Structure 1
Amino acid sequence: MATLPRILIVDDSKVVRTSLAQHMRDHYEVREEADGEAAWQTLVLDQSIRAVVSDIQMPKMNGYQLLERLRSSRLRRLQQMPCILVTGEETEEERGKARGLGASDFLTKSSGASEVLARLGNLLALQQAQESLDSGREQMVQNPATGLFTRRYLELQVAQALSHSARHGMDVSMMVLGFDGYDRLCEKLGPEMAEEVGNRFARMLAGKVRQEDSLGHVAAGQFAVVSPGTAANFCACFAERVRQAVEVARLSVHGEALALTVSIGLASVPVDVVSSAGALLELATQRMQQAMAAGGNRVEAGGVLPATRPISLPHALELLRANRPAPVVPHLDALLGQLLPMLVLIDKELDLTLPIGEIERYLGERNSKNQ
């Protein structure tokens, strides 16, 4: 037998509560309270209550005060809960006050039981329709497994950014990232664990994108980032940093270390001429697939070169620990300049007689050449 919706009746008159409850029991599970304060405590604690039918004139907390507390609650279910106020004698002033405080409906005690049931049924049906609408909207916007934006929502974001770009000449960049060999990863770990690995990656990526960027899940093992206002070369630079971060990451599943890499496709306006948001996403996806076909673990940006960006000392150390010295070599002069104060302190405190003077002369000569 299906569970009946639970309704709270609030009235300081036991006779009124009993009468209403008798008429409602075939349609609803009824709970009763004698004043607004007790009703408030019940509503906070009992999450199964779907609607309130409350008298206005009551001790401790009247119906208006209860309604005001509901609508100002931080709990969304209480903010939106259907609430019918019942008065002994209806006046236009009372009706206006009830409407202003957010009452769902307003009845007099002379209204018949069939009228109360009809109004209550309509309100609950409306609430259920709104909940279904909200749920559908959330599913359109967010992937239920990852909480990230869906492909459809990303396309809407891109369309909006392209429209703004056309009016103001703003760059719009998009990159699509995919795990290399994701099918093999699913075979090795199982689809659920492979998806969890992807979710971990998504959480890492979410911490690196800007607030104005949109991160979404577009396919199994594939994610996309929309970056309004970001030029292609800077987006390519970010894509390369993401690729390197995945390559040197130490991820283990069931105690076994996983060596993961990603391929990234980049598309950008106005560098790339596209006719729609879907076309920009498709172009970025094609370039990701090209990167995978070329061996993976690379960025394909349609010929766009990453903006020059100095490497940080922690990142350099990560690369060396991963036995990847090649990306570090072009930045050795800058890294040596960062390390010099530390080397001076080490030389002084540990008495190692390091060639500090030679290092300083070398850096001075390099800086002079670069000026």
Structure 2
Amino acid sequence: MSDLPRVLVVDDSRLVRASLVQHIRSQYEVREEADGDAAWQTLVLDQSIRAVVSDLQMPKMNGYELLERLRSSRLRRLQQMPFILVSGEETEEERGKARGLGASDFITKGSGAIEILTRLGNLLALQQAQENLDNGREQMVQNPATGLFTRKYLELQAAQALSHSARHGIDVSLMVLGFDGYGELSRRLGPQLAEEVGNRFARMLAGKMRQEDSLGHVAEGQFAVVSPGTAPNYCASFAERVRQAVEVSRLSVQGQSLALTVSIGLASVPTDVVSSAGALLDLATQRMQQAMQAGGNRTEAGGSLPATRPISLQHALELLRANRQGPVLPHLDALLAQLLPLLSLIDEKLDLTLPVAEIERYLEERKAGQK
């Protein structure tokens, strides 16, 4: 027996069935039926089937009738089974009827392999997570130590967002944040105190999030945020604000002052092509690890956005107040250019004879030297 999930493809056209099978057989074991009645018998008897991809117009029992029979079944696995309708020339009214009967999703005839695999992957991940929740496994919902969502529950939230994204064409972004040098921090403070540092960070992060975002604890010293309806550039801006807030924070634990930084990895759909919610989370985690390997205290978004950005005057002052000159040093020229109009005004109004002309000449020479 194959270890691949089994999917039932139902269509009276052998050509359509062959096309669908060709698209998904790399990741799924496929069983085929040519009409709704045969499909129903197969679904009752074959308990290994995880999802259905069905045409609407079929002999003996059409897609509506097959869907209605599943949703009204006394078998819970059939009631909750992902059911994707293959849509051809159906009207919006007919599609609305299918939604009302409990269709999980739609694909159009001629859809490519990536789209079909993505829809199936999202629905199966959602089904698996939902089954875990329905079975009362509270550990799948909240981490008992932090009270935050677990990785599995975050995957459920991401799967729901991806399914919505596929239907309505909106962005879904996910970021994974990890403390740089968390292993050393844990050895220095002990696991319990290091965890408390993480909890403080999580409370700070929760205060900056939107209500529709989901925050979870995915590994030691690592957290993730699922942001439905958020484009990559907006997610990157939020990530930078979080990174800067941690960078200037002054955290004291048992009389020890801690200088902490985080590395952040971003992934987003449809910008990144992934097959499931778990794959989206894995991609963001890989990018966070790349940011750490590149020196830490930075954001990595897969090359679509710059990993580092010029700091503002306000952020530079916050770093200096926190006695952290190091992150400011690479930006001195840019900060001086920002300050020049203010220095010119001070020199004019207060008659302090500041070396404004020398500063202007210095900046011009630096700019010319970089060309």
For the aligned pair, the TM-score class normalised by the smaller chain equals: 0.5 to 0.7
Q: Is 1:211 equivalent to 2:233 in the alignment?
A: no
Going from structure 1 to structure 2, the CA distance change for 1:134 and 1:276 (only over 3 Å counts) comes to closer
TM-superposed deviation, 1:289:
1.6
Identical positions, percent = 77
CA contact (8 A) 2:312 2:335 kept: no
Aligned to 1:319: 319
For residue 165 of structure 1, report the CA deviation from its aligned partner.
0.9
The answer to whether the 8 A contact 2:301-2:307 is kept is: no
Q: Does the 8 Å contact 1:154/1:214 carry over to 2?
A: yes
Structure 1 residue 293: Cα displacement: 2.3
Q: Are residues 1:266 and 2:266 paired?
A: yes
Structure 1 residues 211 and 314: CA distance shift in structure 2, 3 A: farther
Structure 1: gaps spanning 5 or more residues: 1-132, 359-371
Q: Are the aligned partners of 1:319 and 1:325 in contact in 2 as well (CA < 8 Å)? A: no
Letter in 2 for 1:175: M
Residue 181 (structure 1) aligned with residue 181 (structure 2): yes
CA contact (8 A) 2:154 2:226 kept: yes
Structure 1 pair 184–354 and aligned structure 2 pair: CA distance change class (3 A): same
Give the Cα separation in 2 of the matches to 1:229 and 1:198. Answer: 27
Q: Which amino acid aligns with 2:246?
A: V
Alpha-carbon offset, residue 200 of structure 1: 0.8
8 Å CA contact 2:287–2:301 kept in 1: the answer is yes
State the partner residue of 1:227.
227
Match for residue 202 of structure 1? 202
Q: CA 1:134–1:162 in 2, change beyond 3 Å: closer, same or farther?
A: closer
SS at match of 2:216: strand
* Corresponding residue SS for 1:260: coil
CA contact (8 A) 1:234 1:307 kept: no
> In structure 1, how many angstroms separate the alpha carbons of the residues matched to 2:339 and 2:275?
44
Structure 1 stretch 303-312 or stretch 156-165: which is displaced more?
A: 303-312
CA distance, structure 2, for counterparts of residue 149 and residue 206 of structure 1? 12
> Cα distance, 1:233 vs. partner?
2.1
Looking at structure 2, the residues matched to 140 and 303 of structure 1 have their Cα atoms a distance apart, in angstroms, of 33
Question: Matched residues in 2 for 1:305 and 1:153: separation?
Answer: 28
Equivalent pair of 2:179/2:263 in contact (CA under 8 Å): yes
Structure 2 runs not aligned, ≥5 long: 1-132, 358-371
SS of aligned partner of 1:204: helix
Max Rg structure: 1
Q: Measure the CA separation in 2 of the matches of 1:312 and 1:184.
A: 30
Cα offset for 1:183? 1.5
Deviation at 1:334, TM superposition (A): 5.8
Change in 2 beyond 3 A, CA 1:347/1:252: farther
Give the deviation of 1:159 after TM superposition. 0.7
Matches of 1:354 and 1:316, distance apart in 2: 25
CA contact (8 A) 1:234 1:306 kept: no
Equivalence map 1:226-245=2 (5 Å): 226-245=226-245
| Deviation string, structure 1 residues 206-262 (Cα, Å, up to 9, x no partner) | 122222211111111110011112211222222222222222221121111112221
- Is the partner of 1:296 in helix, strand or coil? coil
Matched with 1:248 is 248
- Which residue number in structure 2 is paired with residue 117 of structure 1? none
- Per-residue displacement from partner, 1:331-350 (whole Å, max 9, x unpaired)? 6666677x69xx77x997xx
- TM-score, length of structure 2 as denominator length: 0.52
Displacement of 1:140 in angstroms is: 3.0
Q: Determine if contact 1:180/1:263 at 8 Å carries over to the other structure.
A: yes
- Code of the residue aligned with 1:268 in structure 2: it is S
Tell me the equivalent position of 1:109: none
Q: 1:218 to 1:334 in 2, by over 3 A?
A: same
Q: Which residue of the partner structure matches residue 277 of structure 1?
A: 277
Whether contact under 8 Å (1:288, 1:300) holds in the other structure is: yes
Aligned in 2, Cα 1:211/1:233: closer, same or farther, shift over 3 Å? same
Match status 1:301 vs 2:301: yes
Conservation of the 8 A alpha-carbon contact between 1:235 and 1:306 = no
Shift of 1:190: 0.8
The separation in 1 between residues aligned to 2:340 and 2:307, in whole angstroms, is: 22
Q: Is the 8 A contact 2:180 2:263 kept in 1?
A: yes
2:191 and 2:352 mapped to 1: Cα distance?
57
Query: CA offset at residue 315 of structure 1?
Result: 2.4
Distance 1:301 1:308 in 2: 10
**Structure 1 position 148 matched with structure 2 position 141:** no
* Distance in 2 between residues matched to 1:141 and 1:293, nearest whole Å: 31
Query: Given residue 163 of structure 1, which amino acid in structure 2 is its aligned partner?
Result: S
Distance (Å, rounded) in 2 between the aligned partners of 1:163 and 1:221 = 29
Alpha-carbon distance, 1:316 to partner:
3.4
State TM-score, norm by structure 1: 0.52
Matched residue type, 1:279: A
Contact 2:299–2:307 (CA under 8 A) maintained in structure 1: no
Q: Are 1:316 and 1:328, in contact at CA under 8 Å, matched by a contact in 2?
A: no
1:191 match: 191
| Secondary structure of residue in 2 paired with 1:246 | helix
Secondary structure, in 3 states, of the residue corresponding to 1:211?
A: coil
